[in-house]
């Protein structure tokens, strides 16, 4: 699980790059959801998070950390609106992190911070 702050537009660099093998070891959506639901503290956690998030209006949202597919060594998971797909990100290409691991390393990106690329203007907390 990862709890992180809002997206900050930073160009992709080696310092922010997540190894494809790390991404490929993320749980599937089904497995991540099952692990979350198996926790006896899930209800307590969500009631506290819901209370906290509601105090900020509709500015924040929750994301369950999971992998979409298997990435090749030269690929990153890139969001374009509501669709995230693997893309080859070449040296000199700028993409911006949208989701981070608990250690601060991003694992999903977008090519820009405009409504064309983002489905909502929410700050995300990744679980």
- Partner residues linked to 124 by β-bridges: 61
Q: How confident is the model at residue 15 (pLDDT cuts 50, 70, 90)?
A: very low
Q: How confident is the model at residue 48 (pLDDT cuts 50, 70, 90)?
A: confident
Nearest of 31, 64, 27 to residue 45 by alpha carbon: 64
| pTM of the predicted model over 0.75 | no
Secondary-structure breakdown of the chain: helix, strand, coil percentages, each rounded to the nearest 5: 25, 25, 50
**Which phi-psi region, left, alpha or beta, contains residue 30 (left: φ > 0; alpha: ψ -120 to 50)?**
alpha
**Which phi-psi region, left, alpha or beta, contains residue 81 (left: φ > 0; alpha: ψ -120 to 50)?**
left
Q: Are 96 and 6 in contact (CB under 8 A)?
A: no
Q: How confident is the model at residue 116 (pLDDT cuts 50, 70, 90)?
A: low
Q: Are 18 and 108 in contact (CB under 8 A)?
A: no
Q: How confident is the model at residue 72 (pLDDT cuts 50, 70, 90)?
A: very high
């Amino acid at each position: 699980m990862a709890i992180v702050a809002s997206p900050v537009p930073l160009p992709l660099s080696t310092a922010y790059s997540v190894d494809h093998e790390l991404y490929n070891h993320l749980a599937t959506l089904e497995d991540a959801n099952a692990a979350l639901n198996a926790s006896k503290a899930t209800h307590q956690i969500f009631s506290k998070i819901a209370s906290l998030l509601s105090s900020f209006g509709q500015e924040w949202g929750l994301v369950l950390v999971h992998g979409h597919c298997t990435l090749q060594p030269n690929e990153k998971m890139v969001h374009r609106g509501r669709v995230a797909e693997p893309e080859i990100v070449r040296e000199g290409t700028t993409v911006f992190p949208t989701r981070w691991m608990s250690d601060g390393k991003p694992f999903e990106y977008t090519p820009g911070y405009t409504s064309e690329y983002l489905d909502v203007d929410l700050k995300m907390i990744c679980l």
